[in-house]
Amino acid sequence: MDMNSTVKEFILFGLTQGILKEEAVFVVFLFLYLATLLANLLIVMTIKYSRMLGSPMYFFLFYLSFADACFSTTTAPRLIIDALSKKKIIPYNECMVQIFAIHFFGCMEILVVILMSFDRYVAICKPLQYVTIMSGHVCIILVNLAWVVSFIHSSAQIILALKLPFCGPNIIDHYLCDMQPLLKLACMDTYVINLLVVFNSGAICMVSFIILIISYILILHSLSNQSAEGRKKALSTCTSHIIVVILTFAPCIFIYTRPPTIFPVDKMVSVFYTIGTPLLNPLIYTLRNAEVKNAIRKLWCNIV
């Protein structure tokens, strides 16, 4: 804890107020969280034990589903428990841990989506070199690099958070600990730290989003040389990826590329980003992918 801080705990305002509303939050988000865990763990287990899904795309999908399950776990359990608590208290240290975890798994999610788009780019634009470029060894190196970059990013966030002194009000107008709400409570000029937060988180989101858009433009352009059947299959896969990219990056860009101003819609955007997206990702990939559906059906029929 910063030596200038006198605050040892924070009070979370929560998602909403009122007993009936809180009970509704408890029921709805308990269901969404359990569905998220079930869907993502189903994909993780299916890819791990199915011989049908051995390509690099499913290797990366394994880590996306793992990151999604962990990402939702950083916020959903506390939101669910706090819905039934009169006073939503989070200790200072736990608040810092939550910031680290949110940014670690959130960054991992973004980087894996980038790796999946790179895999599709190589598969469609350079099919003859695909096996060489996307070898198992290369895929492992890329995922390990994603873990390292995620750790560096979240470490930078936590270093900035630890520099904030808190000596006044300790009520966070949110249901989670993150940099933007904390910057509003700090008893210091936070202009420079906010610029660093925007550069660290916002720049990652914007640059990654631009890279992904460019890669998909190149992919779509190259489809003109494909056969009708190949074009249809590639378009189906790319559509799924583009939907995931939009769902992942739109809320991230909205939250982290602006001054530390709290908008009423922030909570709903954060809910969608931290709980909605991790649930939608596996649904999009399974509902639009016959291989995954067949592998799930075959594997779990064998188990049953």
Give residue 3's pLDDT.
Answer: 46
- pLDDT tens for 192-224 read 888 888 887 877 788 888 888 888 888 877 777
d(CA 235, CA 222): 11
Packed helices 290-303 and 19-49: angle between N→C axes, nearest 10 degrees: 90
Q: Would you state the structure tokens that stand for residue 139, as one six-digit string?
A: 């895929």
Q: Would you state the structure tokens that stand for residue 163, as one six-digit string?
A: 């520099």
Q: CB–CB of 98/177 below 8 Å?
A: yes
Backbone phi, psi, residue 188, to 5°:
-165, 170
Q: Is residue 4 part of a domain?
A: no
d(CA 99, CA 161): 8
Give residue 261's pLDDT.
Answer: 64
Q: What is the mean pLDDT of residues 82-98?
A: 88
- In the chain, pLDDT over 90 holds for what percent of residues? 26
Give residue 140's pLDDT.
Answer: 95
Is 24 buried (19+), middle (13-18) or exposed (0-12) by CB count in 10 A? middle
Taking the CB of residue 169, how many other CB atoms lie within 10 A of it? Answer: 12
Q: CB–CB of 205/253 below 8 Å?
A: yes
Least confident of 22-36, 100-114, 272-286: 272-286
Task: Give the CATH number, domain containing residue 131.
Answer: 1.20.1070.10
Q: What is the mean pLDDT of residues 25-54?
A: 89
Q: Is residue 1 part of a domain?
A: no
Q: Is residue 244 part of a domain?
A: yes
The pLDDT of residue 128 is above 90: no
The pLDDT of residue 238 is above 80: no
Collapsing DSSP states into helix, strand and coil, what is residue 260? coil
Q: Is residue 268 part of a domain?
A: yes
Q: Is residue 141 part of a domain?
A: yes
14: left (phi over 0), alpha (psi -120 to 50) or beta: left
pLDDT, the chain, mean: 84
Number of domains in the chain: 1
Place of tokens 């958070």: 161
Q: Is residue 289 part of a domain?
A: yes
Closest C-alpha to 171, from 159, 184, 157, 161 = 184
Amino acid at residue number 165: P
Where in the sequence is the domain holding 93, given as residue range(s)? 9-303
Q: Is residue 31 part of a domain?
A: yes
Confidence of residue 260 (pLDDT cuts 50, 70, 90): low
Q: Is residue 3 part of a domain?
A: no
18: left (phi over 0), alpha (psi -120 to 50) or beta: left
